[in-house]
A and B are shown apart, each in its own frame.
Chain A
Amino acid sequence: MRDRSISVRINDHTHDAKVEPRMLLTDFIREYAGLTGTRVGCEHGVCGSCTVQLNGRPIRACLMLAVQANGEDIRTIEGLAQSGEGAALDPLQQAFHETGAVQCGFCTPGMLMTLDAFLRDYHGGIPDEQSIRVAIGGNICRCTGYQNIIKAVQVAASVLAVSH
């Protein structure tokens, strides 16, 4: 298996590397780019803990080869909040923090990357519980029972509505 040179933009920073074609994007993000917020859970696309955004759309990083991300734009949880010292959390992150939507935190990055895109695409005020449950259908949480996550989304949506 011959190594391939790839260049991947993650959170507006370009990472150049030579990798085996079989390397998964999750492992590239964690080992090469050193961004460990993206989790490795099931490695077959069902748990959602590896969810990142490819060109703004949530995808499973464990089901993409690193070589496929060559020339692409990836956003991980580390790229959600503004960078720099003392920078504020994203409204969704702030809401998660306030409503107790984070317990062990393992599912949280994947949840946030999914919900960030969901809220961006959601037109029609504050999403109702059912819409949110469907939106997070691909992200498993073993701790919270989901209700505080749902609350957090609605809180974040109202914060975002006010700021527009």
Chain B
Amino acid sequence: MKPAAFEYADPASLRETLDLLTADKGIVKILAGGQSLVPILNFRLVQVDRLIDINNVGELDYIRHDGEVLRIGALVRQADLERSVAVASAASLLVEAVGYVGHPQIRNRGTIGGAVAHGDPAGELATALVALNATFHVDSTRGRRAVPSRDFFLTALTTCLEADEIVVEIEVPIVPQESGCAFVEFAPRHNDFALGGAAVRLDRDEDGSVRNVAIGLLAAAPTPVRADEAEMWLLGRMLDAKSARHAAELALTAADPTADVQGSAGFRCEVVGAMVRRALLVANERAT
């Protein structure tokens, strides 16, 4: 369980990184936190020709307010997200979600950009970012482009990134203080891969009814998805146990979980439904 041989480069700038990405004809992978990639290399599920280690590309490590959005550099460690006062006040859903990622040791190295590029349908950050309508900025020698998070994930572990592209920034619209957010997931063991989860952001009108709601589903489909039907049905309604239950049922129309030894598709749907219901009720409580 050791990696096969590869060429190794550790550029110090984004420019150098982009040039390296275009230079090669073989299998080239970006190494950031390595918490998903190195196990894959150790198992030899993938054998790369070249590894581009971007841990010295300091210009990708930042968290800053920019008007109505929060800009998070791709290299920001998950542990730093967890501790960030800026993220806690502007997008607390991310802080709640990242606490479920792996274990503290994983989060000390894992990065937000890596989590996004990995595209795990059970990825807590990916799901929370989809719920928050985040935009992913992607760069290459051909230029930079902005991809809405909803369009970024194609299927399990597959994103729309081209071979010469790298995620450079995650842009998150700032969540107002009055919004209520909640992230819930269910796993056989704490911090294990979730069987189902939900990321919710909810805004209420003066009369207490739902003005706006986003529901991201985790481990419910080959990619993180939004429960569009449930979101639309909730608009203008009062959220209580009954409406939460109905919304959860509607959310399952967006679900298409893959069965495996950990759970059948039916069981996974039950779990996802329960998580949606819980997350809606908690988010509603937290909204002012």
Contact = CB atoms under 8 A, between A and B. Distances in A.
Query: Is the A/B pair a real complex?
Result: yes
B34 A138 contact: no
A67 interface: yes
Contact of A58 (B39, B43, B108): B108
B1 interface: yes
Taking residues whose C-beta sits less than 8 angstroms from the other chain, chain A's interface range is: 20 to 34
Contacts of A67: 8, 10, 53
Nearest to B109: A59
Interface string B123-145: 00000000000000000000000
Most A CB atoms within 10 A — which of B1, B4, B51, B103? B103
Interface string B78-95: 010000000000000000
Contacts of A114: 104-105
A125 interface: no
Given A63-B39, A68-B53, A24 B2 contact: yes
A135 interface: yes
A18 interface: no
Given A1-B5, A63-B34, A67-B8, A44 B103 contact: no
A149 to B, nearest CB: 15
Q: Name A's interface SS.
A: mixed
B105 A138 contact: yes
B173 interface: no
Contacts of A133: 190
A44 B190 contact: no
Given A4-B8, A57-B79, A63-B38, A45 B55 contact: no
Contacts of B5: 1, 20, 22
A21 B51 contact: yes
A43 interface: yes
A64 interface: yes
> Which of A20, A51, A134, A137 has most B Cβ within 10 Å?
A137
Contact of A44 (B10, B31, B42): B42
Interface string B1-25: 1111111101000000000000000
B106 interface: yes
A62 interface: yes
A39 interface: no
Interface of A: 1-2, 4, 20-22, 24, 27, 43-45, 48, 51, 54, 57-60, 62-65, 67-68, 114, 118, 133-135, 137-138
